[in-house]
Amino acid sequence: MHSPLFPLADPAITRLDTELLNGFDRKIRKEKVVSCLIIQDGYLTYEYHKNKKQAQKLQKINSCTKSFISALIGIALDQGLIAGLDIPITSYFPYLEQKSVDPVKRSITLFHLLTMTPGFDWPEFGEWQSFPRMLHSPDWVRFVLDRPLLDQPGEKMNYNSGCSHLLSAILQKATGMSTYDFAKKYLFQPLNIEDSYWYSDGQGIHNGGDGLRLTSRDMGKLGLLYLQVGQWQDKQIVPAAWVQESIQPKFRTYERIGSYGLHWWSDRIDPSDDWTEDNFYYFALGFGGQYILAAE
């Protein structure tokens, strides 16, 4: 793998079809696309911005934030700050031990949050129309924990930004740092991400579901980091085993989107063929058309 600092591609080494790329460029310019980058073998082979300002602008990456949360959980696990994915979340939210709370909630684990399978009644892709109601609550964490259960934990994936916010709250409790400060120290600084912003709730917990803003180039660094199995400039930033585990399909719930892993989506490149390493891609997805797409 070449240097991950996005040098411009030498036309002699790029594997992209020039004619296809030119056609792609013409189409991009006709669409409502703000920025688009293609990084291949560590080289920036294509870069489009609607205007010069967009190249440096902090973009709302919306739910692509969730895949950054996943990376941070992997780092915290590697550091021993989180003991494992089978840890019940009551360890972090003792409120769930109260007699008035549904006792089934005590069996919800970090794995359930990462795969969005805690079983909460959470119609984010239904009547809420992609906007979780916790955003209008004075206490987002409590709002999530108080939602009634529709399914047993681990039975069914149901898209839930509340899971991501609970993971951010857990990161804060486990690391003794805000999610944002932990990200800056162990993910952003190693990736040379210097400019960013991360919204937080009224309790100072950074929004794990969709609160992060980054430049388009810095978004691309997470995709390249994962293609390099967590390595960046010969340093292991995210554990390799965590990267590989995160992107594997675990639950298939939304045919129009794909399968879900540990806060990463995945699907087949050619839906008519079997699922193999050569017919597989994974991605972060944000409301409004933000993507980090990665394939070998």
For 125-148, how does the pLDDT look when each residue is reduced to its tens digit (9 = 90+)?
Answer: 888 887 788 999 999 999 999 999
This model's pTM is above 0.85: yes
> What whole-number distance in Å separates Cα of residue 82 and Cα of residue 22?
47
Q: What is the pLDDT of residue 128?
A: 87
pLDDT in tens for each of the 296 residues of the chain?
Answer: 333 456 666 656 677 788 888 999 999 999 999 999 999 888 888 899 999 999 899 999 999 999 999 999 999 999 999 999 999 999 999 999 999 999 999 999 999 999 999 999 999 988 888 778 899 999 999 999 999 999 999 999 999 999 999 999 999 999 999 999 999 999 999 999 999 999 999 999 999 999 999 999 999 999 999 999 999 989 999 999 999 999 999 998 888 899 999 999 999 999 889 888 889 999 999 998 999 999 98
Tell me the C-alpha to C-alpha distance, in Å, between residue 122 and each of 46, 97, 150, 160, 207.
39, 22, 9, 6, 17
The pair of three-digit structure tokens given for residue 196, joined into one six-digit string: 């960013």
Query: Minimal CA–CA distance to 271: which of 257, 291, 289, 285?
Result: 257
pLDDT of 11 reads 58
So what's the pLDDT on residue 179? 98
